Amino acid sequence: MAARTAGGGGGGVVEWISTAARLGLAVVWAWAGLAKISDPAVAAQAVRAYRILPEGLVKPVGYGLPFLELALALLLLIGLGVRIAAVVSVLLLLAFVAGIASAWARGISIDCGCFGGGGAVDKSQTQYGQEILRDCGFLLLAGWLVARPRSRFSVDGWLAA
């Protein structure tokens, strides 16, 4: 019987793919959260620019989003609750894609604010198609982790050993 390795067991290539997906998504969430957390007022401004949420929710979402992104980054980095973090990632990314698509469809010219900044921009500066494709790529990573959360070097793997 093959010995289990700390942090994941003997799943071979699939576990290494899951590890890469988990760490890649952790970097994305850390980058997004760190870019916003230093100036929560700008993050709230980016949320406001979408013109989707009522004003009473703009600040809580804008101020809270970086903390959620950093929490997801930490959970994915250490590999704790990977499936749950991946499901939350899928939901958050779907909300981002829907928000970007909504702004695009309504002719609102904004920077998505995904990695800091955000708000109104000139129509020539919008990159909605690229932003949606990028987020769909992140969705693939998160979806992979929902289906295959077991990865190397993870707390989940050590707890299961």
Radius of gyration in angstroms for the set of CA atoms belonging to the chain, rounded to a whole number: 17
Q: Return the amino acid letter for 150.
A: R
Question: For 51-84, what is each residue's pLDDT tens digit?
Answer: 999 999 999 999 999 999 999 999 999 999 999 9
Number of structural domains found in the chain: 1
On whether residue 129 sits in a domain, the answer given is: yes
On whether residue 8 sits in a domain, the answer given is: no
Residue-level pLDDT at 9: 47
On whether residue 4 sits in a domain, the answer given is: no
Task: Report in angstroms the alpha-carbon separations of 87 from 18, 34, 66, 75, 81.
Answer: 14, 21, 17, 12, 10
User: Predicted confidence band at 157 (pLDDT cuts at 50, 70, 90)?
Assistant: confident
Residues 132/125, Cβ–Cβ less than 8 Å: no
Q: With 0-12 CB in 10 A as exposed, 13-18 as middle and 19+ as buried, what is 159?
A: exposed
On whether residue 65 sits in a domain, the answer given is: yes
On whether residue 7 sits in a domain, the answer given is: no
- Model pTM score: 0.89
Distance CA 6, CA 130 (A): 39
Task: Report in angstroms the alpha-carbon separations of 65 from 17, 43, 72, 129.
Answer: 28, 8, 11, 23
On whether residue 6 sits in a domain, the answer given is: no
DSSP letter (8 states) at residue 5: P
Q: Which domain holds residue 74?
A: 13-160
Report, as an integer, the average pLDDT of 117-122.
Answer: 88
On whether residue 134 sits in a domain, the answer given is: yes
Q: Going by C-beta distance under 8 Å and a sequence separation of 6 or more, which residues neighbour residue 109?
A: 120, 121, 122, 123, 125, 126
DSSP letter (8 states) at residue 9: -
Residue-level pLDDT at 11: 66
Q: Return the amino acid letter for 48.
A: R
